[in-house]
Amino acid sequence: MAVSSPRTRYQALAESLLEDIRRGRLPVGARVPGELELAGRFGVSRHTVREALRRLESLGLIGRRPGRGTLVLNGRPQASYVQAVTQPEDLLQYPTGSRLRVRETAELTAGRVLARRLGCRAGERWLRLGCLRDFADDQPPVCWTDLYLRPTHRDVVPAIGCRPGLVHELIEARHALRTERVEVDVRAGQLPATYCEALQAEAGSPSMNVVRRYLDAAGSLIFASHSEHPGDRFTYSLTLERGWQSGSGLVWSGK
């Protein structure tokens, strides 16, 4: 059986293996076929196989055992709820009509604090774009966002906020890259004085701090952003659906 869609190959493989486990074709205690065998059977790469197996392992269905290979540990996963997303921006959606405007640009070297925030090494060079997300009318700005780009990606700067497309999509299109994982940290805090004038808010007032990291398949950081939202201007709402692993439909989400 060959899987045709590049974006869902690992999903299709994981679903097929899950069905084999549910129906007892791969009973508890059975050895899961090896990577080469699965790659040949499904017409996919070994990377795709590893990702599918990782998904099943995260559900507690399979596990590696020294000297025995990968074994089926459970016939059914426990019921759980997941947030279904189709793209990273679904995690935090901004109001319709808002716009991102670049206000300042600087090249800098990441110190320990910034390196910890971005998940990079201290001493790495970054291009920081200070941006304000606001509206065309007189409504207060939504947030201040610092974008962190590799200096070699500075050619996308003129397009940010001026052309259709999200920043990570612009980078991917121009530099033949692909985001495979997005990490999002959300914390409550107090608004730093640095952003008060631009955001028309008081220093020390409640703020929502959001850091996003976009990584490739090797785990290398492609792009990152750090946003400060005044607490009274942003609401994050989500709907939870019973996941595909609970037997009530095929719903996929991040880890």
Note the pLDDT tens digit of each residue in 29-72. 999 999 999 999 999 888 889 888 988 887 778 988 877 889 99
Name the one residue in this structure whose structure tokens are 């109001």.
95
Q: Which residues contact 91 (CB under 8 A, 6 or more apart)?
A: 83, 85, 182, 184
Q: Which residues pair with 215 in a beta bridge?
A: 181, 221
Domains of the chain, residue spans: 6-83, 88-230
Average pLDDT rounded to a whole number, residues 154-168: 88
Residue 174, SS3 per DSSP? helix
Give CATH for domain 6-83.
1.10.10.10
Supply the mean pLDDT for the chain.
Answer: 83
CB distance 118 to 148 below 8 Å: yes
CB distance 239 to 253 below 8 Å: no
CB distance 208 to 234 below 8 Å: yes
Q: Which of 141, 109, 114, 147 is nearest to 129 (CA)?
A: 147
Q: What is the DSSP string of 128-144?
A: EEEEEEEESSSSPP-EE
Provide the percentage of residues in the chain whose pLDDT is more than 90. 48
Q: Which of 148, 102, 156 is nearest to 125 (CA)?
A: 148
Indicate the CATH number of 88-230 among 3.40.50.300, 3.40.50.880, 3.40.50.620, 3.40.1410.10: 3.40.1410.10
Name the one residue in this structure whose structure tokens are 């914390």.
187
Report the 10 Å Cβ neighbour count for 209: 18
How far apart CA 144 and CA 193 sit, in angstroms, is 12
69-90 pLDDT per residue, tens: 899 988 876 544 454 555 555 5
Return the structure tokens found at 45: 């790469």
Between these two residues, 12 and 172, which has the higher pLDDT value? 172
* Fold matches, 6-83 and 88-230: no
